[in-house]
């Protein structure tokens, strides 16, 4: 499945390079219009990152996100600095289907596991962003990629599987925003090791060929951000490519 992504700062569509707020590109696009455009092209899910809310949870862009959800054009998964249960319930209450949780899954796994029990594992996407060292160790980064947690991707996932974890969005940080292609080997390995998980691949996809190369890995979802915003290809073309691969 092709899942377009949209990052929002103060109501504006943006992209950050490798998670750095100082390396921001802003696009003159209306987020609600983007929803309609991507839906017209055949997208059935949209991935929303609230970067304003990630910096200050009291400034979460709930009104805008609700406008996007209220179009009824597709399903939505959203996140950005989820820190407490209020953040989760607010997003679910406005119609977001899945809440995307990143750093907190590493820092307070028991809390996130409790939410999975309370709201259903289907309502949670674990966003696990990894730095891969020279020995192939996949360590999860936290705090907007500024810190290495020292926690291995595989060991964290093992603890969440018993709580029904079923959606994992995994980003190889070294590829994010580069348009240099995804890390197919990473996803192939993870799908083989954790076949019950619905994997979403993210980071580095810059061409239709990159999408096609991901298909054999077995990932269920492909997150597309910068490539769509910069017109490398359309959502429609990406969906066709995924179906044909």
Give pLDDT, residue 146: 62
Give pLDDT, residue 196: 97
User: Model confidence over 179-231: pLDDT tens digits?
Assistant: 889 999 999 999 999 999 999 999 899 999 999 999 999 999 999 999 999 99
Say if residue 144's pLDDT is above 80.
no
Distance CA 55, CA 43 (A): 28
What percent of the chain stands above pLDDT 90? 86
What percent of the chain stands above pLDDT 70? 98
Maximum separation of any 2 CA atoms in the chain, in Å: 46
Give me the catalytic one of 50, 87, 129, 172.
129
Tell me whether residue 129 is one of the annotated catalytic residues. Answer: yes
User: Model confidence over 26-45: pLDDT tens digits?
Assistant: 999 999 999 999 999 999 99
CATH architecture type of domain 2-244? Alpha-Beta Barrel (3.20)
Give pLDDT, residue 22: 87
Contacts of residue 38, defined as CB under 8 A and 6 or more positions apart, other chains included, come to 4, 46, 74, 228, 235
Say if CB 188 and CB 216 are below 8 A apart. Answer: yes
235 CB-side CA count, 13 A: 22
Mean pLDDT of the chain: 94
Residue range 55-78: mean pLDDT, rounded: 97
Give pLDDT, residue 19: 72
Tell me whether residue 30 is one of the annotated catalytic residues. Answer: no
SS3 state of residue 178: coil
The pTM score is: 0.95
- Name the band, by pLDDT with cuts 50, 70 and 90, for residue 17: confident
Give pLDDT, residue 145: 58
Domain ranges across the chain:
2-244
User: Model confidence over 148-191: pLDDT tens digits?
Assistant: 778 999 999 999 999 999 999 999 988 877 788 999 999 999 99
Give pLDDT, residue 10: 96
SS3 state of residue 205: coil
Give pLDDT, residue 142: 80
What letters, b where the CB count within 10 A reaches 16 and e where it falls short, cover 116-150?
Answer: beebebebbbbbbbbebeeeeebbbbbebbeeebe
């Amino acid at each position: 499945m092709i899942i377009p992504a949209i990052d929002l700062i103060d109501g504006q569509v943006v992209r950050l390079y490798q998670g750095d707020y100082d390396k921001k590109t802003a696009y003159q696009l209306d987020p609600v219009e983007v929803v309609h455009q991507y839906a017209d092209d055949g997208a059935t899910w949209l991935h929303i990152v609230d970067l304003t809310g990630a910096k200050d949870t009291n400034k979460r862009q709930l009104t805008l996100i609700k406008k996007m959800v209220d179009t009824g054009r597709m399903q939505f998964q959203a996140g950005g600095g989820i820190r407490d249960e209020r953040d989760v319930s607010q997003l679910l209450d406005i119609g977001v289907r899945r809440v995307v949780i990143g750093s907190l899954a590493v820092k307070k796994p028991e809390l996130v596991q409790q939410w999975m029990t309370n709201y259903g594992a289907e309502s949670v996407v674990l966003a696990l962003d990894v730095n891969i060292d020279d020995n192939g160790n996949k360590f999860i980064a936290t705090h907007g990629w500024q810190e290495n947690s020292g926690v291995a991707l595989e060991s964290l996932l093992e603890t969440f599987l018993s709580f029904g974890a079923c959606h994992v969005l995994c980003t190889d940080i070294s590829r994010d925003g580069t348009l240099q292609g995804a890390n197919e080997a990473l996803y192939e390995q993870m799908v083989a090791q954790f076949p019950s998980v619905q994997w979403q691949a993210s980071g580095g996809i810059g061409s239709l060929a990159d999408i096609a190369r991901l298909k054999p890995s077995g990932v269920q979802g492909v997150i597309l951000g910068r490539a769509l915003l910069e017109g490398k290809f359309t959502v429609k073309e990406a969906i066709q490519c995924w179906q044909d691969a």
